[in-house]
Amino acid sequence: MTEIFLIAIAVMIFVVIFQIAKASEYVSVLKGEEKAKKQTNKINAFMLIAFLVLGLIGCWWCNELYYGKTLFPQGAASEHGQKIDLMLYITIGVTGVVFLITQVLLFWFAFKYQERDDRKAYYFPHNTKLELIWTTVPAIFLTVLVVFGLKYWFKMTGEAPKESIIVEVTGHQFAWEFRYPGPDKILGRKDYRLTKGANGLGVDFNDPASLDDIHVPVTMHLPVNKPVKLIINAQDVIHDVGLSHFRLKMDAVPGIPTTMWFTPLYTTEEMKVRSNNPNFVYEISCDQMCGKGHFSMRGVIIVESEADYNKWLATQQPEYYTVFPDKKPKSAEDVVPADSTKKSIQLSAILPSGK
Amino acid sequence: MSNTITSQEQAVNVVHEHEAHGEHHHHETFITKYVFSQDHKMIAKQFLITGMIWAIIGGLFSVLFRLQLGYPESTFPWLEDLLGHWAKGGKLQPEFYYALVTMHGTILVFFVLTAGLSGTFANFLIPLQIGARDMASPLLNMLSYWFFFLASVIMFSSLFVQTGPASGGWTIYPPLSALGDASSGSKIGMDLWLVSMAMFIVSSLLGGLNYISTILNMRTKGMSMTRMPLTIWALFFTAVLGVLSFPVLLSGAILLLFDRNLGTSFFLSDIVVAGKILPNEGGSAILFQHLFWFLGHPEVYIILLPAMGMSSEIISVSSRKPIFGYMAMVGSLFAIAILAFLVWAHHMFVTGLNPFLGAFFVLLTLLIAVPSAIKVFNWLTTLWRASIRFTPQMLFAIGFVSMFISGGLTGIFLGNSALDIHLHDTYFVVAHFHIVMGVASFMGMFAGVYHWFPKMYGRFMNQTLGYIHFWITIVGAYLIFWPMHYEGLAGMPRRYYDFSMWESFKMFAGLNQFISFVSMIVFAGQLLFVVNFFYSIFKGRKVTTTNPWGSNTLEWTTPIKPGHGNWAGEIPEVHRGAYDYGKDGREFIPQTEAVGANESHH
């Protein structure tokens, strides 16, 4: 019922506006078109300058309301992220000044040079010097932005440090899976054709390196202040590992593994304080449209002290034993075949991507 | 007819002869005049009205999905009455939410801002402003519209198939768009999408080739390239961009059809979907993105350039001043057109693209800011010491410049790859392209409609409604899109159906509600324009002089309601550029006026 009521009101407002507009046309004819034209010209020129002033106040107010909700106040949680924030500030500064100058000139000129009886337009078709100035000045500013941007870009997309922890990330509709390489520090080979039942990631358990690999869903654990390299895969469609707190993002593409590395600077507990939010959690958002559950493809990262991380890691059971529960050893002695490390080095040299 | 003869001189003579036989030579039926018309002016109107219908549909879709974003907790029983199982219990289903988002993008980008904008104004203005009786090939021109119509029918029918229309985003990245098992929108809806786009591309190519050959070959005597109005230059570069880039999308669409229906693996490899292990190996999902964006990026300039051209013309006419730096304006259009082909991979910085390759795309992308800056400063200088008449079209042209500045500057953020890593696919991107490409181009289009409506229909649109329309649009657009930058800076991803489960993004619920509310008002404001448009066709104030805006260009030397062939007698000769406003103390000097002996040189 309320809907019908709302629609009726909207239609009425619509009709009223339309009738007023129609009447105004007759009024202007009665008043004399020239006079009416002058009047609307004045009104609109005034509205333009009012729009500028109110608009700039609005920008300031919007900033008051929402700056606190952006990621700036809590700071970036990775070294890469801090560089990105710095660059964002520089870019906001440069573009902000240009924005202010050009918008003010636009609306101020429009207001100031409205048609008046005593005004004649100034014939000014071109001026080479002026045009050269506003070709070169933006070019110089842009060069600065490009140089800084590329410096950071190469640093961020460069090789991960050798001591990085490796975690394999796999996206599928609509969840994230993680695989840790285990004590041998090598991820076992994968083949998507082996994906079946409990072996959800298609791990090739004929590869000895895979025997100690650990598979965890949804939540990734990471130690603080240690570089981590993510090897990113997708099983079905393109996904994207979005880490807004670390200011990072990388697509997960079926058939083409990608990588990304970073160093977390704060534990989840520290971030709860920094962000003033006791419920704070590092979230992995899927940032590439992947189907109807795209918005719910959520992962979590728990960043903790190295001791806590190692403690957590020690409690994890290799995936081999979940896929083949009968192979699970009775005693803790023979968890991993002793010679697996050597063999798997050779294998991983052939298949660096972990496939 | 005249148009088959290449030599301009001959053409003029033939047409002249032909007209000597009298007006009664044309026995136009309703069908040949209004339906299968070969008159460029009628075809333009067909494009415009079809585009307007699409704009209403596409805009309505955005209002529907904004309902979900703004009021995720509420249910709207009337939605179920309207959409059936797509809104079970009065709540949009995620599948349909994504279908709406996808169709909103497709419709607005292709059907409204490509066909509706450049289709309308290229058809209408090119022959009128260069002094030609029609397009080089009126037949191809008519076919161009009817292929667009066919594309429209197919796309529209896809809205009603049982599994829903395409829902993988307007960029239709495979494998999502290739696999029916991955998404119900990737079933028959996706095939219809691809076939419709193939028809659309045919339409766009027929149109584009026609625009280019008309501009190059059919200019009237004296109309050298450097005397052409900037609208024509902009439409020329638009057509060149379309002709060179649309075929690449066609190839991508056809390969995708093969992958979907013939078992090929162009874009597919190593896929397990819904428990099924697919046999496809060796394809590259990234290849499609290259093919798509090789069109996709020029496409944003295809949308934007006509708006730039029309705004330039309207700003100059309404300022009673020459456009500042005509040659620089042409040069910057040219630079933008060239660079448009060299920046496509800036949409792909986070796909795992080789960072070294990415660096070149950063450089070339930010280079676009230079010609853009030239254009902005030239528009500003045109306004300086002008004598401005604030007609609705002038307000929209000023609005265009304001939007172009705001949206262009955020492009500097996104084109810089290091920042793009953070901002990619967040609401910052949504804000950026809606402002610079969506709202700005719409402003240019509205400016064009208000300005040339008298030439189209011999009547004026209601000015008061025009003013109300402008103020609702510009205020609303900034209210909707400005705060979205903040959501983007918080990392809030685009294309999310619901944010309530996310600790990192749920704090914007109030803002989302506000944006949704404003979007409904702005949508209603656009309906004012639609009503004004159709009402004025029949009841608008009649135009009584041939040149109501005091404009220099040739279209205002035709009769108030020009017939097929545009000029009753000979096509006028051109003696000067299009921007002699305020020269030597005269308010304006039409292009047809010979240069006087005492006239000053600049």
Tell the residue number behind the tokens 């004598």, with chain if given: B387
Q: What is the pLDDT of residue B26?
A: 58
How far B580 CA sits from the closest chain A CA (Å)? 8
For B272, list phi and psi in degrees, rounded to 5: -120, 115
Token pair, residue A44, equals 């609109």
Residues on chain A touching B350 (C-beta within 8 angstroms): 240, 249-251
Task: Assess whether pLDDT exceeds 60 at residue B271.
Answer: yes
* B387/A120 Cβ within 8 A: yes
Question: Looking at the partner chain, which of B362, B366, B398 has a beta carbon nearest the beta carbon of A110?
Answer: B398
Task: Assess whether pLDDT exceeds 60 at residue A334.
Answer: no
Q: What is the pLDDT of residue B274?
A: 87
Q: What is the pLDDT of residue A351?
A: 43
Q: Please count the other Cβ atoms lying within 10 Å of the Cβ belonging to residue B524.
A: 17
Task: Assess whether pLDDT exceeds 60 at residue A336.
Answer: no
Mean pLDDT of B549-560: 95
- Name the DSSP letter for residue B502: -
Q: Roughly how many angstroms between the first and final C-alpha of chain B, as a whole number?
A: 40
For A75, list phi and psi in degrees, rounded to 5: 75, 165
Asked, for residue B586, whether it belongs to a domain, the answer is no
Q: What is the pLDDT of residue A347?
A: 43
The answer to whether the bond into B229 is cis (omega within 30° of 0) is: no
Q: What is the pLDDT of residue A6?
A: 84
- Read off the CATH number of the domain in which B160 is found: 1.20.210.10
Q: Read off the amino acid at residue A94.
A: V
Mean pLDDT of B452-472: 96
Work out the angle at residue B578's Cα, subtended by the Cα atoms of residues B572 and B582, and round it to the nearest 5 degrees. Answer: 120
Three-class SS state of B430: helix
Question: Looking at the partner chain, which of A115, A237, A285 has a beta carbon nearest the beta carbon of B387?
Answer: A115
Task: Assess whether pLDDT exceeds 80 at residue B22.
Answer: no
Token pair, residue A193, equals 């054709």
Residues on chain A touching B381 (C-beta within 8 angstroms): 124, 130
Q: What is the pLDDT of residue B596?
A: 85
Please give the residue range of the domain that contains residue B489: 35-566
Task: Tell me which range, A69-73, B9-13, B20-24, is most confidently predicted by mean pLDDT.
Answer: A69-73
Asked, for residue B584, whether it belongs to a domain, the answer is no
* A287/B531 Cβ within 8 A: no
Residues on chain A touching B175 (C-beta within 8 angstroms): 236-238, 254
Residues on chain B touching A87 (C-beta within 8 angstroms): 416, 418-419
How far B559 CA sits from the closest chain A CA (Å)? 23
Q: Please count the other Cβ atoms lying within 10 Å of the Cβ belonging to residue A164.
A: 16
* A116/B373 Cβ within 8 A: no
* Torsion B211-B58-B407-A112 (CA) sign: positive
Give the percent of chain A with pLDDT over 90.
79
Residues A5-58 pLDDT 10s: 888 988 899 899 999 988 988 888 888 888 888 999 999 999 999 999 999 999
Residues B182-234 pLDDT 10s: 999 999 999 999 999 999 999 999 999 999 999 999 999 999 999 999 999 99
Tell me the average pLDDT of chain A.
90
Task: Assess whether pLDDT exceeds 50 at residue B474.
Answer: yes
Residues on chain A touching B352 (C-beta within 8 angstroms): 250-251, 253, 256, 258-259
Residue B535's alpha-carbon distances to A232, B12, B447, B541, in angstroms, are 58, 37, 18, 10
Q: What is the pLDDT of residue A10?
A: 87
Residue B133's alpha-carbon distances to B141, B361, B585, in angstroms, are 13, 43, 33
Task: Assess whether pLDDT exceeds 70 at residue A345.
Answer: no
Task: Assess whether pLDDT exceeds 60 at residue B10.
Answer: no
Count of structural domains, chain B: 1
Residues B448 and B123 sit within 8 Å (Cβ to Cβ): no
Residues B411 and B428 sit within 8 Å (Cβ to Cβ): no
Q: What is the pLDDT of residue B4?
A: 43
Tell me the average pLDDT of chain B.
93
> At how many degrees (to 10) do helices A128-157 and A79-112 cross?
160
Asked, for residue B28, whether it belongs to a domain, the answer is no
Token pair, residue B45, equals 């109107």
Residues B422-459 pLDDT 10s: 999 999 999 999 999 999 999 999 999 999 999 999 99
* Strands, sheet with A239-243, edge to edge from the N-terminal-most edge strand: A219-223, A298-304, A282-286, A239-243, A248-252
Interface test with B, best of A127, A194, A196, A249 (most B CBs within 10 A): A249
Cα–Cα distance between B264 and B8 in angstroms, integer? 50
Residues B78-96 pLDDT 10s: 899 889 899 999 999 999 9
Asked, for residue B377, whether it belongs to a domain, the answer is yes
Residues on chain B touching A258 (C-beta within 8 angstroms): 351-352
Q: Please count the other Cβ atoms lying within 10 Å of the Cβ belonging to residue A335.
A: 16
Cα–Cα distance between B414 and A45 in angstroms, integer? 34
Token pair, residue B584, equals 């030597």
Q: What is the pLDDT of residue A332?
A: 52
Q: Which CATH class is domain A165-329+339-350?
A: mainly beta
Mean pLDDT of B277-292: 95
Q: Which helix (H) or strand (E) holds B20?
A: helix B8-20
Mean pLDDT of B244-263: 96
- Domain residue limits, chain A: 1-28, 29-114+126-157, 165-329+339-350
Q: What is the pLDDT of residue B17?
A: 44
Task: Assess whether pLDDT exceeds 60 at residue A80.
Answer: yes
Q: What is the pLDDT of residue B8?
A: 45
- Name the DSSP letter for residue B101: H
Cβ-Cβ contacts under 8 Å for B13 (sequence gap 6 or more): none
Residues B486-526 pLDDT 10s: 999 999 999 999 999 999 999 999 999 999 999 999 999 99
Instruction: Report the phi/psi class of residue A186: left, alpha or beta, with left for phi > 0 and alpha for psi in -120 to 50.
Output: beta
Work out the angle at residue B537's Cα, subtended by the Cα atoms of residues B532 and B541, and round it to the nearest 5 degrees. Answer: 80
Provide the strand spans (E) within A97-174: 165-172
Asked, for residue B573, whether it belongs to a domain, the answer is no
Q: What is the pLDDT of residue A339?
A: 46
- Report the relative pairing of strands A239-243 and A175-180 from DSSP bridges: unpaired
- Name the DSSP letter for residue B578: S
* B385/A113 Cβ within 8 A: yes
Cα–Cα distance between A215 and A34 in angstroms, integer? 79
- Provide long-range contacts, Cβ within 8 A and 24+ apart, for B162-165: B163/B187, B163/B188, B163/B189, B164/B86, B164/B95, B164/B96, B164/B99, B164/B189, B165/B99, B165/B102, B165/B103, B165/B189, B165/B192, B165/B193
Task: Assess whether pLDDT exceeds 60 at residue B397.
Answer: yes
Asked, for residue B13, whether it belongs to a domain, the answer is no
Q: In chain B, whose CA is at the least distance from the CA of A131?
A: B374
Q: In chain B, whose CA is at the least distance from the CA of A132?
A: B374
